[in-house]
Structure 1
Amino acid sequence: MPPPTPLHASIQGPPLPHPLPHIKPLLLQTVKQHAHIEALVSLHQTTLNLPGFANKSTPHPQHSRLAWTYQQLYDGAETLANRLTARGVRRGNNIAIISDACAEWALFCWAGVLLGCPFAPIDPRVVTRGEDVRRMLEDVGASVIVVGDGEAAGRLEEEMADELAAVRVKVVLGLDEGGMRMRGWMSLLELWEGEEDINIPAGDDKERVFNEDIVIIGFTSGSTSFPKACPQSSDNLVASSLAVQKVRYMGPSDRLVQHLPPFAAMAVLISLTFWISGATIVYPAARFSIPTTLDAIEREKCTYMFAVPTMVKALAMQHSIRDRDLSSLRVIDLGGATTYPEILNLCISPEALQSKSVGCGWGMTETPAPLFTDLYHEQFESTESPVPVGRAIPGSAMRVCAPGSQEPLLREEEGELHVGGVTVICGYINGDNEIFYSDGGMRWIATGDMAKIDDSGAVHILGRYKDIIIRGGQNIAPARIERCLDKVPGVESQVVGIPDEIAGDIPIAVVKLSGDAADSQKETFEALQELSLRELGTTSAPQMFLDLKTDLGRETFPSTISGKLRKSELAEIVQKFVLQNTNLAIAQSSKSTEHTLSGIWSEVSGLSAGSIDTKISIFVYVDSITTMRFSSAVTKRFQKMISVEDVTKHPSICEQAKLLDSRPVLTRDSIQQRTGPPGVDDMVHCHGEMSKAKRTQELANPMLKRLGLTWQDDVEDVFPAPDTSHIYLWRRRPQTWNQRAVYIAQNIDHDRLVDAWKATLQRHAMFRTITISYDDQGIPEPQRSDILQHSHQIFIVVRANHRFWDRSLHTGLDVDKPEELRAVFGNVWGDSACGPLVRVAFARIQNTNSSAFIFVGNHGAYDNLSMNMLLEDLGTALDHGLTAEDMLHAPGHTPFKRFADAYYIHRSSASAMEAVAFHANRLRGIGNFKSSLWPPLRAPGTFKGEDDGWTWMSGELGDPALRIPLDDPPNRYGLDGLTCTAGAGQLDVMRRVHGILPHVILKAAVALFNTARTSSNTALFANVEAGRAWPFVDDWTTPESRAELPNPLDIAGPMFHVVVNRIDLSNRAEKVLDLLRRIQDEQVLLSRYSQAPLFEIQRSLDSKDAEVMSQAMSRQGYNWAPGIQSAASERNNDKPQTLAKFQRKAYDDICLAWTCGLWDAETFYINASYDDCQLSKAEALQAMQEVLCAGVWLANPDNVEREIEGCVFEGLAVGGLIKSLE
């Protein structure tokens, strides 16, 4: 029987009643049916002293409180509506109220509905944030403004007096008869006693209602920007209210403890739901407090409560909770944050909140409550996953899509939640509506929440994409860490990611301690470290724990004007603290080296320093990324260098301390510029011979002249390109190995961006290079040769002057919006052989304060790490207004020339020849395995993207008719590639139990896939190695001088190297674990010998072997990128950035490229990019899914003793297409 077809991650609620009733007749119906039932109780108020209105406090056995029946509330609202009408307020005019919870809030809300005036509740704290309140009130365009007290009115007058002059009615609620008056403002009493009533004839405009009427204008939380105004129509609200009423069985006997801020979207929705149900709303206090909420439940016998998880925890931890009678609670609903079973259990526990049932819901101001669960009555079993937030209500639809896509993934796959249907607003007022779209006759919104839809159709919210921390390519959800830490009594935690130059992001935990946890802080922190390492592992555990009060000097976490945590602000505070703490440690480091190194390992790993045994290998505790971070931290702390290789050779901390103590302090001079061109002694390839120096100048002059440059005035440095660079510089089309990337400079004008670029390139010589090529006889090489060993490439660094800027920069472009940047300068400057390797165009983005630059550069000039160095320095120059002079006098990165010269000089040394022999011995005989190359070629050349101007191996121009893409234009995905994920499930077990790393598993999967496709026993494909080490150091340094070498991580240039894999799979009975160990052991050697000169390897092979070696490098490549998702942080809206990558395209000369990594700790990620003339989209997708399927099979610990012959390439769960994170 064939397996069932996988379901898409798409669900739809039942149909809506048609037509939907309007909110106004629903409220009027409630008044008619339940006139004498209490509509509102305010426990912190007694009377409003309004003539002719319900002004006596209602009797209660224990206390006085204000209480209105539905008839009284309606009568008061009708009177208020008439008074507003008398002052010129008409249907469609907006009412803004800036107050805490109070009876007047309800009065104005009802009056707004009766008048047909949109009601905009705003947090009173907003008045202290001038720009926020100005923009919010401008968005509302209020005809009526109501504030809670005179102080708020005074602040508004200070901020926007001119705008307030046009407001028809301005009311101060807390203004009594003897209070101070401000011009233009009145008390509620003065409004109430104003002009005579106006009789509105039946059928007047006031009586007409339309379902698209705006009823509420809510505001988003403003956690990443200014709050956005969301106009909620009657349909938006009524669809949700009727659904909640039905699933929670609400009726006149229900009583809501309304302790949410009244301006919160859920507070408004649940209030309207209770009022159309004829139920009672109870205000415990003006603002939330634990005692008043518990008192209200107990005294008023409340039956319903809506709360966020932190509220539930706070209430359940109240010391008097066991003495309370909260048994009247029928339902507690949860929302507003990721919810785990233990929170639900607190709600229904007899020892905590005592509710008879608990449920969950989810919504946004943009789409009120489209999801609700059924009610749960039994305790939950603890799980690692959050509980589902519900199913679609009538009239709503949900789907989970890859970020940037609108196509649903499959069930159980994680992606971005999209919501569609009647609850979705039409868009923001005066805002960017990019996240809204229409599809299938329905309004949709891309929510920004990471979610999945399970096989039963329930939706699970996993966190906000903007909050995800990406460490070395792994997704870390802060909510999961926070849940772990909050298990310690007296701990409230928030986890943020801060940038790290090695790992991308690292998680930092900030904890707020109370009770015993605060009294014994040291023990609490030790417990947190032990717990997080045990439950989360070293990759996800926080790298540092900070006390909110003692470390950061705060009593509370920073929050938005609506009370939501402002994680972006917390991250900035933490980042500043960490930087200051690091600088302080550098200045005051007087402890022993061993003790200090233990502290550094603690900082970068999250382990407590006391738990690390200094006499055993550190690799018991940490991974390679942590080791790279340690190397960088040591250089900053000690101003001495200890490399990753040093740590490998000296794995214990005590050995590292002795090594470090033996090394001198590094000196990092400012950039030294030579006056005049390089001499013979400055060009290592000349070997001190003047004739070769002269010949170099002669070779360079034609290109210099073509660019308007001269040797004397414009050449700064000259050095030979390492062998791997020739792959990228040997061009068979103008776009060969070019990358085109677009970066947006937020709030940076065009001219400032150009100036900062020019200043930054003082430190980055490789971005100011041109190249010339010649053969063994010194004859200019016309870009031809199918064997690399006879070709020579020379880098020429051009001085940063106006002549170079004229040839490398284009300024003054104008675009209306960022999307236009995708098409501007599409193929201009494509041929870097005719000019600078890197060229940049700058653009203004009209009607914004932002600009952008389009980067077009040949990959032979940089690798990803040196590109990141450039962008970091550019961001610093922009942030601090640094000039070229500043850059010249600042400590610079290590010039790539220093590496390239060393590589050239020692390319024939014993160490180099040892590396050459290793590769030659592996590859000898591969000329007989040409049939093992995959994919088979269907057209000449291997080119991703445009192939205009392609040539044959001989250099002869190719015929375009010979290269025809296999797919129609809409289906050509080769340049950007296709991306999928697959949950492996037990990668941690494979690492801990068997010592097998994830990159080895996927590499083995690629190898097995290749042999299956070619029906051979040998897999041949290329590998990219980072190569961040000084070349062949054993032959030209002593241990003492080696210590003085700069950290190779700081070399500003292209350090990567390409090696060819030859994996023998002839023994199909080989056990999986044996294969993985064999590949892992060989990978160690491939990395160790990755700098072996390619030309020398080819000279050691016969011509047939050398030819297949070259073909293997252009046929298929495997690249494991541990930091692949670091680029996603540039799109993280929670972290304000000066520069954000908008687009990237890589014009690689390769048939198929696998870019692999981890989506999270247990999920493989693969991007397959390819030549559209060699593979179709369907073939590439099939190949990728087969590799992922094989990877999942190999990653299963149950299969380690099985034979590789049993590897499966189909039938296992593999995700659908997602947006690439490169």
Structure 2
Amino acid sequence: MQYMPDTHAHVVGVPDGIAGHIVVAIVSLAHHTSTTAVAAAARALGPRYALDAVYTLASLHLDGVPVTALGKPKRGLLRDAVLKHRRALTPKGHDTLQHSLASSWEQLTGHRPAWHQPLPYLADSIMLLRYCDAVVRNTGHPLYFQDLKTCHTIDEQAALLLQRQSNPLAVSSPSPPSIQPLFHHQALYRQTPASPDQQSLGLAARHALSSLSLSDCRIQATLPLRSALRRMILGQRPQSFHMRLVFRIPDSTISRVRDALQSGLASRPVLRALACCPPPNDLPFLIIVAHHPQLLNRQIHHATVPTEDEAHEYCIDAPDDKALMFVAHIVHVEQTGHIHLCLRYNHAIVDATFLLQWHRHLTQLIRHANDSVPPSPSLYLHWVDLYEQLRHGLAARQAVAFHAARLRGISRLAPQILWPPQRAPGWMVSSSPDAPHAEQRSHIRNHVWQGTWHLHASDLRFPRRSRIVRLDALPHLEQHCSITPALLGRSALALFSALQTHQCHAVFTCWESARSWPFVPSWLQHYLPPAEAVDGPTVARVLNMVQLRRDETVGQFLTRLTREADEARQHEHADWDAIITELREEGPVAQEASFRQSFVWDVSMGAALTASPQWHQGLEPVSRHDWPDFGLCWNMFRATCDSIFIVASWDTAQMTDDDVDKHCDSLAHVLRLLARQDNWEQKVGCLFPDLGRQDV
């Protein structure tokens, strides 16, 4: 540009969200030259020299180029002038949105933050979640808890929300995804001829509606089930992987609660799902039924009972259609006038993150019926679309290879490393009178309990034991050592399991939230709609085989598991069936191992049991009942800043309550030892002498 007549140019770099920095030019032009000509001259030199923009001194309100005493241009001042000019071009709504965000925070805390004050350092996670809810109600823009991890200040949050508003990908209406017709049967409503496979699956979907007396309803979409979720549908018993959550609503009516449910179901397609299992060997899939009164009458039921105890019993045993993935029972208690709301889900359509969002929204709909809370567009259909399109791609194959490599050798180490031991056929938590082998399981259960099962049967319909483990160092470990409570719990479970078998390997299943868009690069995640907003289950099942090394220090052990967890996070969403196939002859052993022991870091339990009373102004948690198909389930969550809550549920045909009490105490002991930094320099074999000692 220095050879252009009467043109003086200076090049500076300015920050950019995608490229890091971009190059712009500030020029002083002759009368016959334009900024377009300057940009074209630079572009002609090749893409390496292309400019993002060309500004004149006049457009930046500069009389001349600022220079040092030696006559060199002050590029820092030029860059600041460009940034100021760009900010002036941002939408005028930025200041208004900043004001609304600050007002939302002030309503909750009484303190109005400065625009550049980092909010995550001013409150706990519950307050931040309430702030996100207030932002939605006050501005109409959804702000997610995940956003606060990267956008700390009011200014950054306002810019993010405006960016989403202008990004068509983030605010597009939930139009039918362009998924392959074999999996997504929107092709039923297209003009193009359907293939024989599409026709047969379409007939199966319509037949399922007809068999459930829903012939007036319309099929909105059909969705494939990821292999990790098929077990939820094809369980060992009709109620496999069902979950019932019971809430108390003190000051409401049946009609108001029903209206709230109907409004919520209208904006969450996955809650209108039916399971379809075509015979004889076809894979099950989900039918999303369009919002219709006929469907709502099958999903929402009313009842009136005299007492709270009867309401509790009704919520446990209320009959419903197993093909419906979601059913609600509204129970009016005559004695107190309260409403009990029982929400029954199949785990194939929900995970903990989705439940938190849905229950908060339902609370708003019940208590603030007149508030205009705009429903977010459904992203789950797009998430499934992306998963199906990319599940055979390079990233998906790499994820499968990664997890298969971690499980190599499991057949050589089994059955010694598999725990808990199997005494009765099947793995089923909670009552299972209609399960296969029910008579044989009942006989073995009575033997395991030494003839005393009938004394405990009523109390242990939903067997559960719990511990609160005080760990004073927990905040320090998280802030200064990057040891999260979830990682500490997973590490403790690995050591605990190895101590039970006296081996140097531990095997257990983990359920990871996997809140990310499947098989896309990490840099692209930020430019897609927030994965936290996906209104459906993104949860991933991961079978872990952890090696314990006696000569490794505790600190090295925790560091290694942190590194391995970070690596595994880069390979989320690996297809479970593909992993089993990749393992070849070891696949059946891995499949069997996946039923033994399960670990979940459960944020939904944590929010329900540790939140302030204001958090439950609409829905007060009463009880939770699960029917998972595992031998022993560990649920953990952070109860306070320095404690972890452990909940164990188990198959009563395999072990007794005394056995589980001992296991809870042992796991709590391992947690305490790991959390003490005084132990981090000790060898694992010294701190846990029974590890790997098969003669013990």
User: Fold conserved (TM > 0.5)?
Assistant: yes
Query: Secondary structure at 1:1031's aligned position in 2?
Result: coil
Partner of 1:995: 482
| One of 997, 1001, 1007 as aligned partner of 2:494 | 1007
Partner of 2:228: 724
Partner of 1:940: 425
| One of 887, 904, 908 as aligned partner of 2:388 | 904
Pairing of 1:66-465 with structure 2 (within 5 A): none
| One of 895, 898, 916 as aligned partner of 2:400 | 916
Amino acid at match of 1:695: S
**Structure 1 residues 1158 and 851: alpha-carbon distance in aligned structure 2, compared to 1, 3 A threshold:** closer
Partner of 1:703: 208
User: Is the Cα contact below 8 Å between 2:183 and 2:223 reproduced in 1?
Assistant: no
User: Is the Cα contact below 8 Å between 2:275 and 2:285 reproduced in 1?
Assistant: yes
| One of 589, 599, 603 as aligned partner of 1:1118 | 599
Partner of 1:1146: 626
Amino acid at match of 1:983: R
User: Is the Cα contact below 8 Å between 2:119 and 2:152 reproduced in 1?
Assistant: no
User: Is the Cα contact below 8 Å between 1:975 and 1:1171 reproduced in 2?
Assistant: no
Query: Secondary structure at 1:1027's aligned position in 2?
Result: coil
Structure 1 position 821, deviation (Å): 1.8
Partner of 2:274: 770
User: Is the Cα contact below 8 Å between 1:982 and 1:1163 reproduced in 2?
Assistant: yes
User: Is the Cα contact below 8 Å between 1:974 and 1:1177 reproduced in 2?
Assistant: no
Deviations 1:735-792 (A, max 9, x none): 1011122222221112222222122211122221111235xxxx544xxxxxxxxx62
User: Is the Cα contact below 8 Å between 1:670 and 1:892 reproduced in 2?
Assistant: no
Structure 1 position 1157, deviation (Å): 2.4
User: Is the Cα contact below 8 Å between 1:948 and 1:960 reproduced in 2?
Assistant: no
* TM-score normalised by structure 2 residue count: 0.73
Partner of 1:1090: 572
Structure 1 position 1122, deviation (Å): 4.8
Deviations 1:930-984 (A, max 9, x none): 22111001101111111122137xxxx8755455254435545472410112222
User: Is the Cα contact below 8 Å between 2:186 and 2:221 reproduced in 1?
Assistant: no
Distance 1:638 1:979 in 2: 40
Distance 1:992 1:1206 in 2: 28
**Structure 1 residues 891 and 992: alpha-carbon distance in aligned structure 2, compared to 1, 3 A threshold:** closer
Distance 1:753 1:761 in 2: 12
**Structure 1 residues 935 and 1188: alpha-carbon distance in aligned structure 2, compared to 1, 3 A threshold:** same
| One of 907, 915, 926 as aligned partner of 2:410 | 926
Tell whether 2:358 aligns with 1:870: yes
The structure with more radius of gyration = 1
User: Is the Cα contact below 8 Å between 1:741 and 1:856 reproduced in 2?
Assistant: yes
| One of 1175, 1178, 1184 as aligned partner of 2:655 | 1175
Deviations 1:1004-1028 (A, max 9, x none): 2211121121122110001111111
User: Is the Cα contact below 8 Å between 1:634 and 1:642 reproduced in 2?
Assistant: no
Structure 1 position 1045, deviation (Å): 2.6
User: Is the Cα contact below 8 Å between 2:174 and 2:379 reproduced in 1?
Assistant: no
Partner of 1:808: 299
Distance 2:366 2:534 in 1: 22
Tell whether 2:649 aligns with 1:1166: no
Distance 2:614 2:148 in 1: 37
Query: Secondary structure at 2:277's aligned position in 1?
Result: strand
Partner of 1:743: 247
Partner of 2:535: 1052
Distance 1:629 1:982 in 2: 27
Deviations 1:350-383 (A, max 9, x none): xxxxxxxxxxxxxxxxxxxxxxxxxxxxxxxxxx
User: Is the Cα contact below 8 Å between 1:640 and 1:664 reproduced in 2?
Assistant: no
Tell whether 2:303 aligns with 1:820: no
User: Is the Cα contact below 8 Å between 2:108 and 2:131 reproduced in 1?
Assistant: no
User: Is the Cα contact below 8 Å between 2:635 and 2:646 reproduced in 1?
Assistant: yes
Query: Secondary structure at 2:661's aligned position in 1?
Result: helix
Partner of 1:1022: 509
Deviations 1:1124-1156 (A, max 9, x none): 3321257x5566712212111111111101111
Pairing of 1:507-526 with structure 2 (within 5 A): none
Query: Secondary structure at 1:946's aligned position in 2?
Result: coil
Structure 2 alignment gaps of length 5 or more: 1-102, 691-696
Distance 2:147 2:269 in 1: 27
Distance 2:289 2:158 in 1: 42
Pairing of 1:750-789 with structure 2 (within 5 A): 750-774=254-278, 779-781=279-281
| Larger relative contact order (Cα-Cα within 8 Å, sequence gap ≥ 6) | 2
Distance 1:881 1:663 in 2: 27
Partner of 1:263: none
Amino acid at match of 2:325: L
Partner of 1:241: none
User: Is the Cα contact below 8 Å between 1:680 and 1:689 reproduced in 2?
Assistant: no
Query: Secondary structure at 2:649's aligned position in 1?
Result: strand
Query: Secondary structure at 1:841's aligned position in 2?
Result: strand
Count matched residues.
573
Structure 1 position 654, deviation (Å): 12
Partner of 2:185: 683
Query: Secondary structure at 1:894's aligned position in 2?
Result: coil
Structure 1 position 729, deviation (Å): 1.7
Deviations 1:547-606 (A, max 9, x none): xxxxxxxxxxxxxxxxxxxxxxxxxx9977149999xx9xxxxxxxxx95x43xx12222
| One of 1093, 1097, 1101 as aligned partner of 2:583 | 1101
User: Is the Cα contact below 8 Å between 2:597 and 2:632 reproduced in 1?
Assistant: yes
Structure 1 position 656, deviation (Å): 10
**Structure 1 residues 960 and 1087: alpha-carbon distance in aligned structure 2, compared to 1, 3 A threshold:** same
Pairing of 1:657-696 with structure 2 (within 5 A): 665-666=166-167, 683=185, 689-696=194-201
Query: Secondary structure at 1:1052's aligned position in 2?
Result: coil
Distance 1:1182 1:1088 in 2: 36
**Structure 1 residues 868 and 624: alpha-carbon distance in aligned structure 2, compared to 1, 3 A threshold:** closer
| One of 1066, 1072, 1082 as aligned partner of 2:554 | 1072
Distance 1:661 1:669 in 2: 11
**Structure 1 residues 1137 and 899: alpha-carbon distance in aligned structure 2, compared to 1, 3 A threshold:** same
Distance 1:844 1:661 in 2: 44
User: Is the Cα contact below 8 Å between 2:104 and 2:131 reproduced in 1?
Assistant: no
**Structure 1 residues 722 and 1070: alpha-carbon distance in aligned structure 2, compared to 1, 3 A threshold:** same
User: Identity percentage over the alignment?
Assistant: 21
User: Is the Cα contact below 8 Å between 2:595 and 2:629 reproduced in 1?
Assistant: yes
Distance 2:311 2:160 in 1: 51
User: Is the Cα contact below 8 Å between 2:353 and 2:513 reproduced in 1?
Assistant: no
User: Is the Cα contact below 8 Å between 2:232 and 2:348 reproduced in 1?
Assistant: yes
Partner of 1:119: none
Query: Secondary structure at 1:733's aligned position in 2?
Result: coil
Aligned residues: CA RMSD? 4.0
Partner of 2:119: 603
**Structure 1 residues 1047 and 1100: alpha-carbon distance in aligned structure 2, compared to 1, 3 A threshold:** same
User: Is the Cα contact below 8 Å between 1:875 and 1:1139 reproduced in 2?
Assistant: yes
Structure 1 position 873, deviation (Å): 2.3
Structure 1 position 642, deviation (Å): 9.4
Structure 1 position 661, deviation (Å): 9.2
Distance 2:649 2:567 in 1: 27
Structure 1 position 1207, deviation (Å): 3.0
**Structure 1 residues 606 and 825: alpha-carbon distance in aligned structure 2, compared to 1, 3 A threshold:** closer
Distance 1:805 1:1029 in 2: 31
Amino acid at match of 2:561: I
**Structure 1 residues 1159 and 892: alpha-carbon distance in aligned structure 2, compared to 1, 3 A threshold:** closer
Amino acid at match of 1:816: P
Distance 2:145 2:628 in 1: 31
Structure 1 alignment gaps of length 5 or more: 1-572, 586-594, 608-622, 782-790, 1211-1222
User: Is the Cα contact below 8 Å between 2:305 and 2:333 reproduced in 1?
Assistant: yes
Query: Secondary structure at 2:287's aligned position in 1?
Result: strand
